[in-house]
Amino acid sequence: MKNVSVQGIKNITGGLDRFLIGLAIVVILLGAAMFEMNQSSHGGRHAKQGTLDLSDWDFRSDGTVRLSGEWEFYPDRLLTPADFAGGRQPAGKRYIQVPGVWNGEDMKGYGYATYRLSIRIKPTDRTLAIHKQVIRFADRMYVDGKELASSGSPGMSRKGYEPGNFPYTVSFVVPDDRIDLLIQVANYDYPTGGIALPLRLGLSDDVQMSRAAQTMFEWAGAIIFLLFGIFSLLLYFFFQRRLPFLSFGLFFLCFAVLIVMNGQRMLFQLLSDMPFEIMWKIKDLSVLLAIPFLNVYTAYAYATGFARRLLLYPAGAIGLFCLFIVWVPYRMYAPALGAIMLAFILLLMALVLFTLGQYRKSAASSKREIKMYLMALVSLLMLLISSAFLNQGDGTFLPSILSDVLGLSFVIFIVAMLAQNYFSTYQSMAKLTAELQAANQLKDEFLLRTSYELNTPLQGIMNLSQSLLDSSAQLPKDRRVGSRDKLQIIRNTAYRMSNLVNDIIDLTRIKDGHLEVALKPVDLVACVAIAFEVNGFLAREKSVRLEHRLNPESRYATADENRLMQVLSNLLDYSMKFDDLTAILVSGHRRNDMSVLQIEAIVWGAGITADSKSRQPGFYGANLAAAIELTRLMGGEMRLLPGEQQRGSVIFELVLPMAKPPNPDRDGAILREIGGADAVRTDLAGAGRRRLYRPRRRGGAASPGADGESARQRRLPGADRPLGRRGDGAA
């Protein structure tokens, strides 16, 4: 009992592994860094009572400076430089902290006002620039009495106001040691108005380069997320319809849009003619939908049951709020964005805690992927907190470099997670492939041994039936008619079964590269006649007519006779499987130096395109696969040709190298003798049958070909007329 308790404590304490401890330390250090950056942002030069003294500031060595501190503030007035001409001082002057919002007792979020700052600088002949980031929600900037830029159009009422709120940079030359900066601001859309982020002043080259670098960084991030999104969606639509792929793809797309519509807001400037409402709704929807899609991904990738529903409910609620956003004006839902942002932070915290729990419970094989995902979520959470501080508009300001680093770390961890995911999948597939290959090898060995065991009795059946057929020739005619037909059926059936077994053996040998063929001249007429006899009993049962028309020029081919017989038997056996088959025609002709055999299965009155599956042409089954490979090994080619559609047919074409006749003089005399005669049946008795049914050795050697004791020494059927049209199917 004591050992069990100790082991339980070890399990509990062992869960706090080095990764979790390291992650906690990183989060603490990052929080401390954010606090320190926030404190340091309040340091530096600050304006006092509307004047910023930079007389000892060297823009070349000290860089840019934030225009923060006390600015002159004129609420409910849109002043111009003319109002300050000649040293005049308009009434209603106050001071306000910049960056900050103007919401207070005297002025609410909606309204208009004028900001003014006087800057003393060291005289310089260099071009200076001011970068404006966020002023809610329309502004117009004057520098030394000249209007240089605007975002939207400030107005004293909603009708005379046009919102904008996108960043811009203005460049100018200062002839003396003083810059007079005047900004008109109006807001009738957002709950808080004013200069939310500090303006920056510096050399034009420095300011422009800093903005260009930030813009390129944001474009790079957006493109990366866009590619990830497209990749995930392609996986969903073309690979596997799993919700994690879809939700992750949509999350990446939302994040890509989020990047280009925040920060430097490049898309705002590219689509400046698009209405304000549409642009800002797209911006807000990209922010609001990102976390729910991440919730859906986590729910379907790592959760089940109640935990999954717990993750999906908040996502559904935010989805309903997004539908509300689509239908109402921006100013109606904008007041809720602050609460939604807080809810997002809490939701992402819950997501981090849930993933942390999954990491604790996960198997060792999946811990690495969850580690990467957990670190990505932590990076996203800190990025969200940083953005929340950035958008407060109360003087709390974190440098954009922090957001950039957090965004980059999020991308890195997501990429690492995806890489780990696909690496694990690849390892699983490699392991499964190895197991399947081992199982396939065992299957091949089993089939090979079984095929050898089956082949032995089949060869015995063929030999005994052939012996009985030979001896039955000496019996009286009335006693041998019925028994001879039965013996032929037994022998031919055993041959077909042996042929199927040989296909299995040959396919195994072909795959292992151990199959050998003995090439020599082969008499195609004799081979076709023998193949017809083997399938004759099936043809009689189905009332199928077997015919052949072979051109004398293509009578001989170079092949392995036993392998060729196997190919022909397979093709005839396959053709017999068609519905409504009426005839099989084998024709032969010469094509250059090749001998071409065409086996056509004819279906009268019904096309091959009928509904029956047996009429759909194609290379199916082990027998045709073996036939294709055997033909290739013999130096030939086998392919499927389009048949005659009107009568319905399938045509197999067998192309083999031509061979010279073993005895041209005698064979020429035979061909001249039969050239004008009707087709006659080939005599398959004696040596021809013995060669056909002789057992094949396991090494793959074939029996003697046409150059030995063969059917070519006898009277052969005609080459250009059918081999009989009797309904018994015998050739």
Structural domain harbouring 102: 51-209
Give me the helices (H) in 1-118, please.
2-14, 18-41, 59-62
Comparing 400 with 88, which gets the higher pLDDT? 88
Question: What strands lie across the sheet with 128-132, from one edge to the other?
Answer: 65-66, 200-203, 128-132, 168-172
Q: What are phi and psi of 434, to 5 degrees?
A: -65, -40
What residues does 86 pair with on adjacent strands? none
Q: Among 209, 237, 260, where does a domain finish?
A: 209
CA 168 to CA 211: how far, in whole Å? 10
Does residue 447 sit within a domain? no
Do 546 and 410 sit in the same domain of this protein?
no
- Residue 248 predicted with pLDDT over 60: yes
With cut-offs at 50, 70 and 90, classify the pLDDT of residue 566.
Answer: confident
In a domain, 11, yes or no: no
Per-residue model confidence (pLDDT) at position 49 = 95
Per-residue model confidence (pLDDT) at position 479: 58
Tokens (6 digits) for 226? 């866009």
Q: How confident is the model at residue 712 (pLDDT cuts 50, 70, 90)?
A: very low
In sequence order, which ranges of 262-363 are alpha helices (DSSP H)? 266-270, 276-302, 305-327, 330-333, 337-361
- Give the number of residues written for the chain: 731
Supply the CATH number for residue 422's domain.
1.20.1070
Answer yes or no: is pLDDT of 708 > 50. Answer: no
In sequence order, which residues have a C-beta less than 8 Å from that of residue 443 and are 6 or more positions away?
none
154 with 161: CB under 8 angstroms? yes
Please indicate, yes or no, whether residues 542 and 613 belong to a single structural domain of this protein: yes
| Same domain assignment for residues 191 and 222 | no
| Residue 723 pLDDT | 32
Instruction: Determine, yes or no, domain membership for 520.
Output: yes
On the question of pLDDT at 654 being above 50, the answer is yes
Do residues 309 and 178 both lie within one domain? no
The candidate with the shortest Cα–Cα distance to 537, out of 465, 471, 478, is 465
* Residues 148 and 33 placed together within one structural domain of the fold: no
Greater model confidence, 107 or 16: 107
Q: Does residue 696 surpass a pLDDT of 70? A: no
Check residue 521 and give its pLDDT.
93
Torsion 393-396-401-402 (CA) sign: negative
In a domain, 279, yes or no: yes
Give the lowest-confidence range in 124-128, 160-164, 339-343, 506-510. 506-510
One domain for residues 173 and 294: no
Which of 82-96, 196-210, 224-238, 665-679 is the least confident region? 665-679
Q: Which residue has the higher pLDDT, 41 or 251?
A: 251
> Average pLDDT of 252-265?
90
387 pLDDT band, cuts 50/70/90, is: confident
Q: What is the pLDDT of residue 606?
A: 45
Handedness of CA 30, 32, 38, 42 (dihedral sign): negative
Is pLDDT at 612 greater than 90 in this prediction?
A: no
Give yes or no: residues 184 and 109 share one domain. Answer: yes
Q: 4-13, 302-311, 539-548: lowest mean pLDDT where? A: 4-13
Domain boundary among 184, 209, 234: 209
Characterize the bridge pairing of strands 581-591 and 545-550: parallel
Domain assignment of residue 594, yes or no:
yes
- When divided into structural domains, the chain yields a total of 3
Q: Please identify which residue in the block is written with the tokens 């492939």.
A: 433
Determine the Cα–Cα distance for residues 550 and 719; give it in Å rounded to an integer. 4
Mean pLDDT of 149-161: 94
- The predicted pLDDT at position 135 comes to 94
> Do 30 and 55 lie in a common domain?
no
Q: In the prediction, which pLDDT does 149 show? A: 96
Look at residue 368 in the predicted model and tell me its pLDDT.
86
* CA 582 – CA 571 distance, rounded (Å): 16
The pLDDT value recorded for residue 141 is 98
More confident residue, 387 or 641: 641
Give me the pLDDT at residue 574, please: 84
Q: When comparing pLDDT for 108 and 653, which is higher? A: 653
Q: Are residues 32 and 112 in the same domain?
A: no
Place of tokens 């023998």: 530
What's the pLDDT score for residue 82?
Answer: 95
Residue 482: the pLDDT is 59
Residue 339 in tokens: 């609460």
**Tens digits of residue pLDDT in 309-337:** 999 999 999 999 999 999 999 999 999 98
pLDDT of res. 239: 86
CB 513 within 8 A of CB 583: no
Question: What's the pTM value of the predicted model, to 2 decimals?
Answer: 0.62
Distance between CA atoms of residues 514 and 699, nearest Å: 9
Judged against a pLDDT cut of 70, whether residue 448 lies above it is answered with: no
pLDDT of residue 138: 96
Q: What does the pLDDT look like over 399-441, one tens digit per residue?
A: 567 777 888 898 899 888 888 888 888 888 898 888 888 877 7
Predicted confidence at residue 321, as pLDDT, reads 92
Mean pLDDT calculated for residue range 719-728: 34
117 and 181 in contact (C-beta within 8 Å)?
yes
* Cα first-last separation, the chain: 88
User: 571: domain CATH number?
Assistant: 3.30.565.10
Which of 82-91, 234-243, 413-422, 489-498 has the least mean pLDDT?
489-498
Per-residue pLDDT at 477 exceeds 80: no
pLDDT of residue 691: 47
For range 455-468, the mean pLDDT: 68
Mean of all residue pLDDT scores within the chain = 79
Q: What CATH number does residue 166 fall under?
A: 2.60.120.260
* Cα–Cα distance measured from residue 134 to residue 393, given in angstroms and rounded to the nearest whole number: 9
- Of 8 and 278, the one with more pLDDT: 278
| Of the candidate ranges 293-297, 349-353, 389-393, the one whose mean pLDDT is the lowest | 389-393
- The confidence score (pLDDT) of residue 494 equals 72
Q: How confident is the model at residue 31 (pLDDT cuts 50, 70, 90)?
A: confident
Classify residue 590: in a domain, yes or no.
yes
Residue 587 has pLDDT above 90, yes or no: yes
Above 50 in pLDDT, residue 641? Answer: yes
pLDDT, one tens digit per residue, over 484-506 is 666 667 766 777 677 667 766 77
Say yes or no to pLDDT of 616 above 60. no
- The predicted pLDDT at position 105 comes to 57
Location of structure tokens 């056996």: 573
| Residue 453 pLDDT level (bands cut at 50, 70, 90) | low
Task: Considering only residues 400 and 371, tell me which one the structure prediction assigns the higher pLDDT.
Answer: 371
103 & 148 share domain: yes
Question: Are residues 237 and 196 part of one domain?
Answer: no
- Residue, of 548 and 10, whose pLDDT is higher: 548
- Domain end point (choices 173, 192, 209): 209
In this structure, the answer to whether residues 581 and 687 fall within a common structural domain is yes
In a 3-state reduction of DSSP, which class is residue 167? coil
Residue 503 lies in a domain: no
pLDDT at 450 over 90: no
Asked if residue 402 is part of any domain, the answer here is yes
| Mean pLDDT, rounded, for 653-657 | 94
> Between these two residues, 600 and 499, which has the higher pLDDT value?
600
Distance in angstroms (rounded) separating the CA atoms of residues 215 and 198: 18
